[in-house]
Amino acid sequence: MPSVAPPRLPIWRSPFGLVLLAASAVGAYFLLTGHFDHVLQAVPYLILLACPLMHVFHRGHHGHPHPRSPERPAPGDEPPS
């Protein structure tokens, strides 16, 4: 009988992930309390950077079917009415 490996935990649920998450939270706290004015100056640039990144990485993941999926034909492939 083949043995089945137990499912792997996501990294954030592992002990290493929890330590990494806690260290990130502590680092973010000290960054924001010690350099709040510098972080505040970077916000407009971060918003401008977020726009192209969202266009690149979120393309086609809006919960709609892909245009060439079997449920929906590609533009121009519709049968004539």
| 25 pLDDT more than 90 | yes
CA–CA dist 14, 49 (Å, integer)? 31
pLDDT in tens, 37-56: 998 999 999 999 998 888 88
Task: Give the confidence band of 81 by pLDDT, cuts at 50, 70, 90.
Answer: low
Burial 27-38 (b: 16+ CB within 10 A, else e): eeeeeeeeeeee
- Host domain of residue 21: 14-57
| Residue 49 domain flag | yes
| Residue 28 domain flag | yes
pLDDT in tens, 57-68: 877 655 555 555
| Residue 38 domain flag | yes
Mean pLDDT of 62-78: 57
Average pLDDT, the chain: 80
Number of structural domains (the chain) is: 1
| Residue 3 domain flag | no
Tokens 């992930």 belong to which residue?
17
